[in-house]
Structure 1
Amino acid sequence: MAQTIFNRLTAEEQLVFYGLAMSYPVYLLGGLYVLGSVIGWAILAVFALKVYLLGRQKFPINPLLLVSPVVWLWILAMLVMLVALISAHIDRQLGTGSTIKSSIGWAKGWALLALFPLLGSMISIRPQVLVRGVCIAAASAIPFGLLGVLAYIGGLHGDLFVSPLKAIGGPEEVFIIRLFGMNPETGMARWQFIGPWAPAAGLLSCIYLVLCLQETDSRWRALGVTGALTMCLLSQSRAGWAIFMAIVPIMIALGSLRHPLAWIGLGITLPALILLGEPVYQWVMESYTQVKESRPGSTRVRGTLARLALQRWENEAPIWGHGVVERGPKIVEHMPIGTHHSWYGLLFVKGIVGMFALALPLAFTTLHLLFAAQKSKTALTALGICVIMISYSFFENLEILAYVYWPALLWIGISLKPATPEKTTLRGNL
């Protein structure tokens, strides 16, 4: 990538690039949750000010008219999330203070799932700027992970401090700054990097992988991929390991559907799977059981949380949900009900309305990108991101982690722009 690109960054691109490049320094200062939550709104404010000051001289067409209908669907769906939140608070009489607090939480979580695709679709942010920033962030995991390994070997405590920014509100874990954490089941260290907990680092490693593969500079691409691999391995996330290994082959397969050889291969594979269906099924189920039994305590807690969320949603608040997560009983180690799973969490907190408010835009976006990915490398990468989000939605709450994987949301918005000549063929590193 020509160095001149970084000598003429727009104000919006500077926020994106330096927001990513400074991820670890900001994390070590305790401000990453704040940065990730407000950077999207800051980019929107800068762009709105630019439109206001320059007017039709610079923007002859209203930028909102260029926004993809898929992005408008996300905006509508996330507004429905806010309606569900307010309705649940009114229905369960949670009070004005709780409603205001939860609405601010919506702006720092669910709203970002619409905000960043809007910014990517509406503002001219060059993909290569985003990719280079991601490569720097991913590569920074290498020295950070090494420092954590040395601290663990030296017998030092992994927790550094609790950020005073905790006063602004949010999950407690996002303000605890750690070199590494401890697995309570094994007593061994596991690394969360800039995530609030280790499985979040697994999610981030998968997203970093697909974005770093788009880097044209071989040195930065290698550093970025190595950093993503480091995050995946040290996070010890079972879901992260599985998705990390599978995502590139999945993307290659999904991006090759227009080629006759792909359909020939599918025609050969399907009969083989039918003939080998029983042994393949048994192998998959046995492997799945072994993965679950590798951390039985975590599996038990997650399963119990899921049952509690479903039972209470169905019996107490099927339409709008409970409005907030609730502290669980001792049987789930007091883990909050409505966490560890996007869909069960949505049913518990925002009811059936909230569940469809995520399911519909995510499904339509994935389907749209599946068609676009046959001609566009950018869309193929965005499709891979959607696959990762869908996969991880069964293990994490997507809205809580939006402050760390916002580059992926921004890339989805970029991919939803009208096709340009340089985006019409599949080529490059994937």
Structure 2
Amino acid sequence: MATPLLNQTTVEEKLIWYGLVLSYPMYVLGALYVWGSVLGWLMLALVILRCWVDGRADYGPVPLIVWLWVTAMALMLVALIVAHIDWQLGLAKTIKSTIGWAKGWALLALFLLLGAVLPFRLALLTRGTCIVAAQSIILALISLVAVALGWSGEIYLSPLKAIGGPGYEFFTVRWFALNLETGLPRWSFFAPWAPAAGLMSCICLVICWQEQNPRWRALGIIGTAVMCLLCQSRAGWVLFAGLIPLLVLFGRAISPSMLLVAAIATVVMMLSSQWLFEHGNDAYQHIKDSRPDSTRVRSALADIALQRWQAEAPIWGHGIVERGPKMVEYMPIGTHHSWYGLLFVKGAVGALALALPLAITVIYLLVDAFRSAVSRTALLLALTLVGYSFFENLEILVYLFWPALLWIGAALNPLKTNALQKVAY
């Protein structure tokens, strides 16, 4: 599967490469959630081992923004523990939630750290992502046959569910899922649910666009388009369509003034993605018809989360998500939105712990985009995550979009971006 250009010269590069290209095999085994959650800690252990045994010091220095992320995600753990104490949730739930933190929020900072310090080539990310996207085309074709033959969408529930995780969706292997409102098939590909596949289609589009091999680049972009179309995520459609002209513009030699206008337009588009999403539903009724009750449920979940956050736990939050009432189809309060979820679960402390480093990262990449193609790509990746944070809980999907965090981490290290600018990555 690897070409001479992509021969992995270090263990770190091997882990990155196989972590990507084995995404679908791991998904078929029902092990992708475990695989993605362990990968970051495995690479960190390797860094620590090399420093201890070999005395290697060529991993640093760690950029200040990355240290800010590490500190902020540690603060998330503090908020979690304080909330569990406040609400007397008990030691067992505290331990369980801490493990969840290690597989979620902690990985945000961890993959950024690894991207900033590990010696790896971005070509591994571009080619590996193209391979995953191309495999999505194959899955789509096979699953369309499954739909035509009337097969069940779900194949099996992996026994690895016994390990524990956010829900059975993370261990369910399926050809497709059924939209309960319309009865029509809806594809989630290797993600736990269809909107998460929409996020991954946008992330993969940005990375595949940077591939140097025309054939793999074309296959990757086609694969991401197939993912975005079949997942039927309205947020995914809006962001995917907005990314294409920006990728075309960012890939050209443009003046600083044009780049500034494009960057500002990108920020405005991503930050207003929720507004575009809602008003796009009103303007295009056929898009809304794909899930007629979705907006109502999301709005109700947001209202409940905000009301209970303000009234019950404004500083440290409730510590855990809670099952919602019938009006939201019993969906957990604190889901479907990173910011409302943070306010409900970790209070104002948790929301600030994400908002501050995320804002500083976007500002840094916006400034550095004037000189660095690596940072321009990282800016689009970061803003895609910002846009999708209004529709998904990012922390439980880190095991999927970790390649984007590695790229952003690399862009946050000026020494690394300077080196990468000199080679065709």
Following TM superposition, by how much is the alpha carbon of 1:51 offset from its aligned partner in structure 2, in angstroms? Answer: 2.1
CA distance in 2 between partners of 1:345 and 1:97 (Å):
22
Q: What does residue 96 of structure 1 align with?
A: 91
* TM-score (normalizing by structure 2): 0.90
Please identify, of 302-311 and 284-293, the stretch whose mean Cα deviation from structure 2 is larger.
284-293
Q: What does residue 280 of structure 2 align with?
A: 287
Q: Does 1:364 align with 2:360?
A: yes
Following TM superposition, by how much is the alpha carbon of 1:66 offset from its aligned partner in structure 2, in angstroms? Answer: 1.0
Following TM superposition, by how much is the alpha carbon of 1:37 offset from its aligned partner in structure 2, in angstroms? Answer: 0.3
CA distance in 1 between partners of 2:218 and 2:162 (Å):
39
CA distance in 2 between partners of 1:240 and 1:27 (Å):
21
Which of 73, 78, 85 is the equivalent residue of 1:83? 78
Which of 123, 131, 137 is the equivalent residue of 1:136? 131
Q: Does 1:28 align with 2:51?
A: no
CA distance in 2 between partners of 1:285 and 1:391 (Å):
13
Residue aligned with 1:133, SS: helix
Following TM superposition, by how much is the alpha carbon of 1:424 offset from its aligned partner in structure 2, in angstroms? Answer: 4.8
Any residues of structure 2 matched to 1:222-261 within 5 Å, and which? 222-250=218-246, 259=255
CA distance in 1 between partners of 2:171 and 2:406 (Å):
24
Q: Closer, same or farther in 2 for the Cα pair 1:314/1:254, shift >3 Å?
A: farther
Q: What does residue 67 of structure 2 align with?
A: 72
Q: Closer, same or farther in 2 for the Cα pair 1:76/1:283, shift >3 Å?
A: closer
Kept in 2, the 8 Å contact 1:77–1:358? The answer is yes
Which of 120, 129, 148 is the equivalent residue of 1:125? 120
Write out per-residue CA displacement over residues 78-123 of structure 1, whole angstroms, 9 at most, x where no aligned residue.
0000000000000000000000000000000001100001001111
Which of 372, 378, 383 is the equivalent residue of 1:376? 372
CA distance in 2 between partners of 1:148 and 1:285 (Å):
30
Kept in 2, the 8 Å contact 1:182–1:189? The answer is yes
Q: How many residues align?
A: 409
Structure with higher Rg: it is 1
CA distance in 2 between partners of 1:265 and 1:388 (Å):
18
Following TM superposition, by how much is the alpha carbon of 1:250 offset from its aligned partner in structure 2, in angstroms? Answer: 3.5
| 1:22 maps to amino acid | L
Which of 282, 300, 304 is the equivalent residue of 1:304? 300
Q: What does residue 10 of structure 1 align with?
A: 10
Q: What does residue 108 of structure 1 align with?
A: 103
Following TM superposition, by how much is the alpha carbon of 1:216 offset from its aligned partner in structure 2, in angstroms? Answer: 0.6
The unaligned stretches of length 5 or more in structure 2 are 266-274
Residue aligned with 2:151, SS: coil
Write out per-residue CA displacement over residues 6-59 of structure 1, whole angstroms, 9 at most, x where no aligned residue.
33431011111011101111100110000010001111112221222211xxx3
CA distance in 2 between partners of 1:187 and 1:209 (Å):
29
| 2:202 maps to amino acid | C
Residue aligned with 1:402, SS: helix
CA distance in 2 between partners of 1:231 and 1:83 (Å):
37
Write out per-residue CA displacement over residues 360-408 of structure 1, whole angstroms, 9 at most, x where no aligned residue.
1110000000011111111111100111001000000000111111111
Kept in 2, the 8 Å contact 1:181–1:192? The answer is yes
Q: Closer, same or farther in 2 for the Cα pair 1:261/1:77, shift >3 Å?
A: closer
Q: What does residue 343 of structure 2 align with?
A: 347
> Kindly, what percent of the aligned residue pairs are identical?
55
| 2:26 maps to amino acid | V
CA distance in 2 between partners of 1:290 and 1:161 (Å):
39
The unaligned stretches of length 5 or more in structure 1 are 270-281
Which of 296, 299, 314 is the equivalent residue of 1:318? 314
Q: Does 1:180 align with 2:176?
A: yes
Following TM superposition, by how much is the alpha carbon of 1:137 offset from its aligned partner in structure 2, in angstroms? Answer: 1.0
Residue aligned with 2:400, SS: coil
Q: Closer, same or farther in 2 for the Cα pair 1:127/1:203, shift >3 Å?
A: same
Write out per-residue CA displacement over residues 226-264 of structure 1, whole angstroms, 9 at most, x where no aligned residue.
111110000000000110010133456678998266289
Following TM superposition, by how much is the alpha carbon of 1:283 offset from its aligned partner in structure 2, in angstroms? Answer: 10
Aligned Cα RMSD in Å?
2.6
Kept in 2, the 8 Å contact 1:68–1:417? The answer is yes
Residue aligned with 1:93, SS: coil
Write out per-residue CA displacement over residues 293-332 of structure 1, whole angstroms, 9 at most, x where no aligned residue.
4332111110100000000101111000000000111111
Q: Does 1:407 align with 2:403?
A: yes
Q: What does residue 273 of structure 1 align with?
A: none
Q: Closer, same or farther in 2 for the Cα pair 1:330/1:5, shift >3 Å?
A: same
Residue aligned with 1:111, SS: helix
Residue aligned with 1:185, SS: coil
Kept in 2, the 8 Å contact 1:117–1:410? The answer is yes
Q: What does residue 279 of structure 1 align with?
A: none
